[in-house]
Copies of this chain bind each other. A is one copy, B any other.
Amino acid sequence: MSEHRANHDTRERILDVAERLFMENGYEATSMRLITGAAEVNLAAVNYHFGSKEALLREVFRRRLEWLNRERLAALDRLEQQAAGGPLKPSQILEAFFGTLLRMGEDESLGGMTFLRLLGRTLTEPAEFIRTFFAGEYEQVIDRYKLALFRALPDVPRAEIVWRLHFMLGAMSYAIAGTDVLQVVTGCGLRDLAGEGSAEGEPGDNVVARRLARRLMPFLLGGLRAPLPQPDDTSGQTQHRTPPAKR
């Protein structure tokens, strides 16, 4: 019982607890005392190991995004290599980008649905240090996937692709956040996405993530390949291309 903890034990436990509490309450509403209390470590431990509360949040994300970024780039590498210079199919690109993320929700050692929910909820946080952090973490990956989509959809204006990537990220972000504020899903008797209070018979997180992936992916693909909008007079930029999108 009265064993002393290993050096890195405290660090890891703080990260795990902070990940969960930041997800449940948000960054601002989660105090250091709440984190250290739940982690059963001293209040000063956070500042000792991480330097500040901001740095703690960054580290919570860094340890997960490191894996995610590497895996996303590797998935794209594999696809491009097997395509031998040709363009990829949009479905392949989306599978590599979103599928890799959603697979984290099935793996508890990668953060599971806790991290996915945290990510989705944090992507809309307005705090400056959060936004600059994410911008830096994501820059490389986003750029590579943008280029892949440009090549995969050569007939679609690039600005349009960028916008649709933005929309897809939004749908995914909101879906994995899983708050369902409007009770669209949870108000229907389907409790798939509800995160809190697992009664008996509730599906495990890995099942939740898999169901979500299976339903989200066709939606995203349908949105990406939807007919292009009509050009609008009030807009400065004009696009003369006719939509080749298929259904």
Query: Chain A: residues with CB nearer than 8 A to chain B?
Result: 23-26, 28-29, 120-121, 123-127, 130-131, 134-135, 138-139, 142-143, 146, 158-160, 162-175, 177, 179-185, 187-190, 193, 203, 207, 210-211, 214-230, 232, 234-236, 245, 247
Q: Which residues does chain B contribute within 8 Å of A138, judged by CB atoms?
A: 181-183
* Pairwise interchain contact B215-A226, C-beta atoms closer than 8 A: no
Between A135, A146, A166, the greatest number of chain B beta carbons within 10 A of the residue's beta carbon is seen for A166
Please give 8 more A-B residue pairs, beta carbons under 8 A apart, in addition to A164-B219, A167-B215, A222-B227. A131-B181, A166-B180, A169-B174, A169-B184, A203-B236, A210-B232, A214-B230, A218-B227
Q: What number of copies of this chain does the assembly contain?
A: 2
Q: Which residues does chain B contribute within 8 Å of A227, judged by CB atoms?
A: 218, 222
Given the known interface contacts A173-B174, A210-B232, the answer about A162 and B185 at a Cβ–Cβ threshold of 8 Å is: yes
Between A130, A210, A227, A229, the greatest number of chain B beta carbons within 10 A of the residue's beta carbon is seen for A229
Q: Which residues does chain B contribute within 8 Å of A187, judged by CB atoms?
A: 135, 139, 142-143
A interface, over-half SS: helix
Q: Which residues does chain B contribute within 8 Å of A23, judged by CB atoms?
A: 126
For A221, give its contact among B174, B177, B184, B226 (CB under 8 Å): B226
Rounded to whole Å, the gap between the CB of A104 and the closest CB of chain B is: 17
* Pairwise interchain contact B124-A167, C-beta atoms closer than 8 A: no
* Pairwise interchain contact B26-A126, C-beta atoms closer than 8 A: yes
* Pairwise interchain contact B26-A125, C-beta atoms closer than 8 A: yes
* Pairwise interchain contact A135-B175, C-beta atoms closer than 8 A: no
Enumerate 29 A-B pairs (CB-CB under 8 Å) in ascending A order. Answer: A26-B127, A28-B29, A123-B174, A123-B179, A123-B181, A125-B179, A130-B181, A135-B182, A135-B187, A138-B181, A146-B188, A159-B190, A163-B215, A163-B219, A164-B219, A165-B184, A167-B175, A167-B215, A169-B184, A171-B174, A173-B174, A210-B234, A210-B235, A214-B230, A214-B232, A218-B226, A220-B223, A222-B245, A225-B247
